[in-house]
């Protein structure tokens, strides 16, 4: 049985779901060296929940991202980004997202990074419902300077394209 369908038609059963951190990730892409070179990487998730409600617009999501897990495959860059110059993961080890509402295939909420909270909208691109829960993919674009991450202007990309893929299990 194929469980992949149009996102608008694919709604998980009502109730609380726990994000399976082992099967979920946050991927990002940006540019560095004056916008000439692509940079791709990941963050791991610490945890989170999804509450599917009726009506669906009242559903809620809370996610904790492990800022210390920033990884691009370049150890020097990764240490630099985790330092006080950028993410300051010693002070702010967690990045959080909390949704306020669901508008069709859009998840509207607040992202908190480096102690700064800003509104953000994620576009839900895919939802696959299974017997155990569901898997979802959503994406957004974030301006790092809005969160006070202003080091290396010109050298490091200002915007990050972020894709979140989560597997959720019924609690």
**At 29, which CATH number?**
2.40.128.110
Query: Residue 2: inside a domain, yes or no?
Result: no
Mean pLDDT of the chain: 91
Q: What is the pLDDT of residue 34?
A: 58
Q: Which residues pair with 96 in a beta bridge?
A: 64, 112
Query: pLDDT-based confidence at 141, cuts 50/70/90?
Result: very high
Given a contact cutoff of 8 angstroms between Cβ atoms, the answer to whether 71 and 78 are in contact is yes
The total of structural domains in the chain comes to 1
Given a contact cutoff of 8 angstroms between Cβ atoms, the answer to whether 31 and 38 are in contact is yes
Query: Residue 1: inside a domain, yes or no?
Result: no
For the entire predicted model, the pTM comes to: 0.88
Query: Residue 67: inside a domain, yes or no?
Result: yes
Can you give the residue range of the structural domain that contains 13?
7-170
Q: How many CA atoms lie within 13 A of 90 on its CB side?
A: 5
Query: pLDDT-based confidence at 165, cuts 50/70/90?
Result: very high
d(CA 61, CA 124): 13
Query: Residue 41: inside a domain, yes or no?
Result: yes
Query: Residue 109: inside a domain, yes or no?
Result: yes
């Amino acid at each position: 049985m194929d469980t992949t369908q149009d996102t608008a038609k694919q709604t998980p059963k009502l109730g609380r779901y726990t994000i399976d951190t082992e099967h979920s990730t946050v991927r990002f892409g940006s540019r560095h060296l004056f916008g000439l070179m692509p940079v791709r990487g990941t963050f791991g998730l610490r945890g989170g929940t999804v509450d599917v409600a009726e009506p669906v617009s009242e559903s809620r999501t809370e996610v904790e991202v492990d800022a210390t897990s920033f990884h691009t495959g370049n150890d020097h860059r990764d240490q630099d980004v985790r330092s006080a110059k950028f993410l300051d993961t010693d002070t702010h080890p967690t990045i959080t997202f909390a949704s306020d509402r669901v508008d069709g295939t859009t998840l509207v909420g607040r992202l908190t990074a480096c102690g700064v909270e800003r509104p953000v909208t994620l576009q839900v691109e895919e939802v696959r419902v299974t017997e155990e829960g569901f898997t979802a993919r959503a994406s957004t674009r974030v301006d790092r300077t809005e969160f006070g991450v202003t080091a290396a202007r010109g050298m490091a990309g200002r915007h990050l394209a972020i894709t979140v893929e989560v597997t959720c299990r019924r609690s």
